[in-house]
Homo-oligomer: A and B are copies of this chain.
Amino acid sequence: MADGKAGGTKGGQALLFLTDEQLRKGIEAMFFAYRGFTADPDRILEKYGYGRAHHRALHFIGRAPGTNVNNLLGILGVTKQSLNRVLRTLIEDGLVESRIGVQDKRERHLYLSETGTALEAELSEAQRARMRVAYREAGHEAVAGFRRVLEAMMDPDQAAYFNAMTNRGE
């Protein structure tokens, strides 16, 4: 492990010899890329006085309309107090609607309002635009590889949420 080399096989793939240096470059690539990844939404959010936490909530509510708070907590991996603070401002500002559950009245089902949908779309389009450019520059096969590595990097329970995410369209 400490000798700077590692080999392995999987599914008939050729042996992979990875130096610590190659791994480090991957780590740094993640660091710098994630900054680029969040830069555009951050600029938009600033205009409205929101932060990344608001973006995440808007994204996943938009993604799974009618989701309840507990489910959102699992996806976002924060405490309910943290999420609640964000959710409260979004509801107060009329971006998110919280509807009491029909079957289970303890649950609140979350939906984006018209303005919430609009902001989510603005944020999402900015982020998709960057992703689109990166995908085009990198090419078709690179995209598949990108996704495979990212999935393998997730914690298993996180990956479960990821795969449970609406798979329509793919």
* Contact surface of A with B, Cβ cutoff 8 Å: 1-2, 6, 8-11, 13-14, 16, 18-37, 39, 56, 59, 63, 77, 124-125, 127-155, 158-159, 161-162, 165, 168-170
Contact = CB atoms under 8 A, between A and B. Distances in A.
A154 B32 contact: yes
A73 to B, nearest CB: 14
A162 B27 CA distance: 11
Chain A contact residues: over half helix, strand or loop, or mixed? helix
Nearest to A40: B155
Contacts of A150: 29-30, 32-33, 134, 146
A18 B24 CA distance: 30
Residue in A77, A134, A170 with the greatest tally of chain B CB atoms within 10 Å: A134
Contacts of A13: 139-140
A23 B40 CA distance: 15
